[in-house]
Every structure is written in structure tokens, then in C-alpha cells.
Amino acid sequence: MIPRFLILFSLLLLSFSSQAQEIEMADRLRADGKIWVVVAVFLVTFAGVIFYLIRLDTKISKLEKEITK
């Protein structure tokens, strides 16, 4: 019980210290206007994963219907 508490406490302290620091890279990207490139790449990647999962689901549904027949 005590080691779990110590691990949890230390992780909480680490998260607080990381939140206190400013992220210079993000500020620099915002200043240069390149943050939108990062957002666009993230959105395209996310949309690709969603599209892949939807296609995979339809293929699996089709195979399940064939198996039950």
C-alpha cells in the first residue's frame, strides 16, 4: 500500500512541475504561424485512422454475415 502511495505522490509532483514550465516550442510555432501546419497534420492523421477503422469495421461485418450464412 505504501509503495503505491509513494509512486502516486511522486507522479503527481512530476506532473505539477511539468505544468509549471512554459512550452517554448509551441510558443515559437504560434509566433511563426506554423502551429496550423501541426494542427493540419494531426487532423489528417486522425481522419485517416478513423477512415481506416470504419473500412475495417465494414469488412469485418461483411465477413461475419458470410460466416453466419
Q: Is residue 28 part of a domain?
A: yes
Q: Is residue 29 part of a domain?
A: yes
Dist. CA 51–CA 29, nearest whole Å: 29
| Residue 56 lies in domain | 22-69
Q: Is residue 2 part of a domain?
A: no
Q: Is residue 46 part of a domain?
A: yes
Count: domains in the chain: 1
Q: Is residue 38 part of a domain?
A: yes
Q: Which amino acid is at 13?
A: L
Confidence (pLDDT) at 1: 59
Q: Is the pLDDT of residue 2 over 70?
A: no
For 10-48, how does the pLDDT look when each residue is reduced to its tens digit (9 = 90+)? 777 777 665 556 667 777 888 888 889 999 999 999 999
Per-residue pLDDT, averaged over 42-66, amounts to 97
Confidence (pLDDT) at 18: 57
Dist. CA 3–CA 41, nearest whole Å: 41
Q: Is residue 64 part of a domain?
A: yes
Q: Is residue 14 part of a domain?
A: no
